[in-house]
């Protein structure tokens, strides 16, 4: 009898503490088990990459991708599926680019290049001009019009290999891709060639957005692979008068109407409080966009599938959003933030996956300190699965527009060493995605959403 009383006493004292923690860690375990057993999401990714490569916003390929996601959502148990209209730019590559330099005796060395997103075309018969190598934007001013006029500016910067998390290395030089043509045109350049923003040494050219502002003349911007950048730099070192030929035919067309695709599970307790989980459905013309960001879209959809599979009924309304047009102008993200899908909606929490679907290492949180602290209090629930980075930092481009609405933001953080090997290049194929790693990311996202849904943000 006394022993029983002791047992009852001990259980009575500790049970409430243990049971909640146990319940949460058990649910998280079940999410990972369900995700790791399933091939559904991976097959969805393969299909998306296969039927809609090059799905830049405004293209027919992007419409195919939107239809695909809509149908996949229809086959699931969402309460409502929305197609939110978004007007987007339509810019097309219009056929392969050509670039080469002469190596003597009429022989040409061809260069692997891709037009930068939003670039104007070269004249129909191309541009042939001497190049001038610059390593930083500031160098343009130092060189001045005298040295630049009539030439192709070749931005051949050094990628910083020292960052352990690789995203800052991308950020340090991305300005030359985005604004290089605009700046070089002020000094009379006829085109720009931009080294690919990759830490790998290979022959894949990488594209990405470039922008014109008020420059005197719009000149073409073209990305060149790392290996061919080195080759060209070497040729230039030997002969500073080396001439490069460039041709691209890209063109801007009238804007078209496409859609954010949104699947919604209505909250049982707080139907107006919205938790958004998403990725961007568009991808560059030269790629399947498996890591960027087909995988992030599929992971978001997988969060909903995991909840359905485990029969979890959320208290808040959960929305899975396939954002349109992240790469060019973020029109989808702006439309989602500015135009309520339903009356009275309040953006509560948003989570984006857009850093590649490699092994998840944690989350990045953007919001008040009390929110970040609460998120960090759950770290131990994720440690068994290898997630340990719970940091206050940026989130994702698409959900960033929800910040002014008072929404707390989070991003899935993944192992970053190989991300820029793939990013915005033909190398970003579904074969580069490991099913287990992608599923671990989806399970981690679902676990975080579950904890926020049940326990709130503060």
Which is closer to Zn ion, CB of 156 or CB of 293?
293
- Is 282 a residue that touches Zn ion (CB under 5 A)? no
Which is closer to Zn ion, CB of 34 or CB of 293?
293
- Is 34 a residue that touches Zn ion (CB under 5 A)? no
Distance CA 179, CA 153 (A): 12
Q: In sequence order, what are the beta bridge partners of 317?
A: 274
* Site string (119-158) toward Zn ion, x via CB under 5 A: ----------------------------------------
Is residue 338 classed as helix, strand or coil in its secondary structure?
helix
The closest of 415, 436, 126 to 299, measured between CA atoms, is 436
- Answer for the pair 180, 221: CB distance below 8 angstroms, yes or no: yes
- Is 293 a residue that touches Zn ion (CB under 5 A)? yes
Which is closer to Zn ion, CB of 34 or CB of 292?
292
Pick one of 354, 398, 428, 453: the residue that binds Zn ion (CB under 5 A). Answer: 354
What is the total count of residues that contact Zn ion (CB under 5 A)?
A: 3
CB count in 10 Å sphere of residue 274:
25
Part in contact with Zn ion (CB under 5 A); list of ranges 16-24, 263-271, 289-297, 448-456: 289-297
Integer Rg of the chain from CA: 25
The residue whose two tokens read 């594209």 is 207
Distance CA 397, CA 138 (A): 27
Which is closer to Zn ion, CB of 61 or CB of 292?
292
Smallest separation (angstroms) from Zn ion to the CB of 326: 6
Check residue 383 and report its DSSP letter.
Answer: G
CB count in 10 Å sphere of residue 401:
20
Smallest separation (angstroms) from Zn ion to the CB of 441: 14
Which is closer to Zn ion, CB of 133 or CB of 298?
298
Smallest separation (angstroms) from Zn ion to the CB of 259: 18
Smallest separation (angstroms) from Zn ion to the CB of 295: 10
Distance CA 21, CA 380 (A): 10
Part in contact with Zn ion (CB under 5 A); list of ranges 51-59, 225-233, 290-298, 440-448: 290-298
Copy the structure tokens of residue 190. Answer: 């006829």
Smallest separation (angstroms) from Zn ion to the CB of 398: 9
The closest of 269, 281, 365 to 321, measured between CA atoms, is 281
Part in contact with Zn ion (CB under 5 A); list of ranges 8-16, 199-207, 317-325, 353-361: 353-361
Pick one of 72, 97, 156, 292: the residue that binds Zn ion (CB under 5 A). Answer: 292
Distance CA 89, CA 297 (A): 21
Is residue 248 classed as helix, strand or coil in its secondary structure?
coil
Check residue 98 and report its DSSP letter.
Answer: E
Smallest separation (angstroms) from Zn ion to the CB of 183: 25
Part in contact with Zn ion (CB under 5 A); list of ranges 147-155, 334-342, 349-357, 380-388: 349-357
- Answer for the pair 87, 256: CB distance below 8 angstroms, yes or no: yes
Part in contact with Zn ion (CB under 5 A); list of ranges 103-111, 112-120, 346-354, 376-384: 346-354
Which is closer to Zn ion, CB of 263 or CB of 356?
356
Which is closer to Zn ion, CB of 258 or CB of 287?
287
Part in contact with Zn ion (CB under 5 A); list of ranges 52-60, 199-207, 235-243, 347-355: 347-355
CA atoms lying within 13 Å on the CB side of residue 403: 15
Distance CA 375, CA 394 (A): 15
Q: How far is CA 159 from CA 139, 195, 222, 376, 423, in A?
A: 17, 9, 18, 33, 15
Copy the structure tokens of residue 376. Answer: 């960090």
* Site string (298-337) toward Zn ion, x via CB under 5 A: ----------------------------------------
* Site string (242-281) toward Zn ion, x via CB under 5 A: ----------------------------------------
Is residue 208 classed as helix, strand or coil in its secondary structure?
coil
Which is closer to Zn ion, CB of 411 or CB of 448?
411
* Interface ranges with Zn ion (CB under 5 A): 292-293, 354
């Amino acid at each position: 009898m006394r022993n029983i009383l002791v047992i009852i006493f001990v259980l009575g004292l500790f049970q409430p503490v243990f049971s909640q923690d146990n319940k949460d860690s058990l649910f998280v375990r079940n999410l990972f088990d369900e995700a790791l057993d399933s091939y559904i999401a991976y097959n969805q990714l393969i299909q998306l990459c296969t039927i809609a490569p090059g799905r830049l916003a405004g293209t027919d390929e992007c419409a195919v991708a939107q239809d695909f996601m809509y149908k996949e959502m229809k086959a699931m148990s969402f309460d409502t599926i929305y197609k939110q209209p978004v007007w987007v730019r339509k810019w097309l590559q219009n056929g392969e680019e050509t670039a080469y330099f002469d190596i003597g005796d009429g022989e040409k060395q061809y260069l692997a290049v891709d037009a930068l997103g939003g670039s104007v075309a070269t004249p129909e018969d191309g541009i042939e001009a001497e190049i001038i190598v610059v390593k930083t934007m500031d160098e343009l001013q130092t060189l001045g019009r005298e040295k630049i006029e009539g030439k192709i500016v070749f931005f051949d910067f050094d990628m910083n290999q020292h960052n352990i998390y690789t995203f800052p290395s991308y950020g340090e030089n991305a300005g030359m891709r985005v604004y290089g043509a605009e700046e070089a045109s002020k000094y009379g350049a006829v085109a720009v060639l931009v080294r690919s923003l990759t830490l790998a040494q290979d022959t894949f050219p990488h594209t990405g957005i470039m922008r014109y502002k008020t420059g005197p003349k719009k000149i073409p911007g073209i990305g060149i692979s790392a290996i061919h950048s080195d080759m060209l730099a070497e040729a230039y070192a030997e002969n500073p008068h080396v001439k490069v030929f460039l041709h691209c035919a890209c063109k801007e067309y009238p804007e078209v109407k496409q859609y954010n695709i949104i699947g919604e599970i209505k909250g049982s307790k707080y139907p107006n409080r919205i938790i958004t989980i998403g990725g961007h459905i568009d991808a560059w013309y030269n790629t399947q966009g498996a890591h960027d960001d087909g995988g992030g879209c599929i992971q978001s959809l997988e969060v909903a599938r995991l909840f359905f599979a485990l029969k979890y009924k959320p208290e808040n309304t959960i929305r899975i959003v396939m954002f349109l047009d992240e790469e060019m102008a973020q029109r989808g993200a702006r439309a989602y933030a500015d135009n309520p899908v339903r009356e009275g909606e309040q953006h509560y929490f948003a989570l984006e996956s857009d850093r590649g679907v490699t092994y998840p290492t944690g989350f990045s949180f953007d919001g008040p300190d009390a929110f970040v602290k609460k998120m960090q209090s759950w770290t131990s629930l994720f440690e068994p699965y290898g997630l340990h980075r719970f940091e206050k930092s940026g989130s994702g481009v698409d959900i960033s527009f929800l910040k002014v609405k008072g929404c707390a933001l989070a991003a899935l953080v993944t192992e970053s060493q190989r991300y820029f090997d793939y990013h915005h290049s033909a190398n970003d194929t579904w074969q580069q995605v490991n099913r287990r790693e992608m599923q671990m990311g989806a399970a981690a996202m679902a676990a975080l959403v579950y904890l926020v849904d049940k326990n709130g943000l503060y």
